[in-house]
Amino acid sequence: MRRTTMLSALALVLCSVARSVDAQSGGTSSASPAPDATTSRLMQRLHALAADSMEGRRAGTPGAARARRWLIAELRAIGVEPMGTSYEHPFVIRTRNASPDTNGVNVVARIKGTAGSGPALVLSAHYDHLGIRNGEVFNGADDDASGCVTLLMIAERLMRERPTHDVILTFFDAEESGLQGARAFVANPPLPLSTIGMNLNLDMVSRQDAGALWVAGTSHTPMLKSVAESAANGARVTIRFGHDTKDLKPGDDWTNSSDHGAFHARGIPFLYLGVEDHPDYHKAGDEAHKVDPTFFRGTMEYAYALLRRVDAALPDIARARRTP
């Protein structure tokens, strides 16, 4: 998700109208050159997490549990340690109607920084999506398997090129039902909130329909603008800034539209990376084969460059915290 609940509901209604069109679209760019090993790995992981076997990864379902097992197996293979005694951090998902509350589970890991002290960076994405509706699997390749896969790729690099500050890798659950995994994280954090210098959140980072990757959050923490701009030098994708001011029409201010909203509510600076809505947003057509590998690789590279810049500036960023 990345929109208001009302707009999401509207999208789901529209979705049923557009479904027959979706089923006929698709296909890959067969003229592209053969991808390098890193891009292949990126796409391989995207196809794995956005596969039908994950059943749309709806929070509280066996499909979400399967996705979680896959994520943890990847983290173990990369050599990233759990945050605390387990990768799994359960919480209760509150439902709005009469159906009973269910359990959600955030997956949290930590890569220790070389400094050994100081603020930590929470790098996040959400692994849940919309599940199966009317017999169709909503695979959520862009939303947000793309963010989760980017986190894994970044984790692999950070194990070779250690960050200065601790990086807390967080794969949130139940984002689609109101940022519940992120809200549970800040309500019962596995490290003191005062030590979280910033949240860098990735949600929908693989589709190039609108041709650009947006960086939101700099209007709330102006010093982050130069940090994010410096990381954009040499970027392989177009980087735009905005979607974070109140003067925008409803739905265009993304300040509270994904998990970074839970950190913002606690006064913690954030940057959010994401693309504009596309024709498959919250539809069964959000499939891995519609992702352009070159664009996705470009956003992954930007996210990594940004993380390194943020890591270097983290003590200054942490001092920019607001009192909520």
Footprint of Zn ion on this chain (CB under 5 A)?
1, 143-144, 203
Q: Sign (positive/negative) of CA torsion 124, 304, 216, 290?
A: negative
3-state secondary structure of 110: strand
Report residue 3: phi and psi, to 5°.
Answer: -120, 175
* Of 148 and 153, CB closest to Zn ion: 148
Q: Which residues pair with 103 in a beta bridge?
A: 92
* Of 72 and 182, CB closest to Zn ion: 182
Angle between helices 62-78 and 146-160 in degrees, nearest 10: 20
CB count in 10 Å sphere of residue 86: 12
Short-list 49, 25, 39, CA closest to 107: 49
* Of 183 and 321, CB closest to Zn ion: 183
* Of 15 and 111, CB closest to Zn ion: 15
Q: How far is the CB of 257 from Zn ion (least distance, A)?
A: 9
Q: How far is the CB of 14 from Zn ion (least distance, A)?
A: 17
Q: Which residues pair with 138 in a beta bridge?
A: 131
Q: How far is the CB of 139 from Zn ion (least distance, A)?
A: 13
Rounded (to 5) percent helix, strand, coil in the chain? 40, 20, 40
Do the beta carbons of residue 284 and residue 138 sit within 8 Å? yes
Q: How far is the CB of 140 from Zn ion (least distance, A)?
A: 7
Q: How far is the CB of 126 from Zn ion (least distance, A)?
A: 6
* Of 182 and 318, CB closest to Zn ion: 182
* Of 173 and 203, CB closest to Zn ion: 203
Strand locations in the chain (E) = 81-82, 88-93, 102-111, 120-126, 131-133, 136-138, 167-172, 196-202, 212-216, 238-241, 270-274
Residue type at 105? V
Which residue shows structure tokens 């923490």? 221
Q: How far is the CB of 98 from Zn ion (least distance, A)?
A: 27
Q: How far is the CB of 2 from Zn ion (least distance, A)?
A: 5
* Of 203 and 311, CB closest to Zn ion: 203
Do the beta carbons of residue 253 and residue 203 sit within 8 Å? no
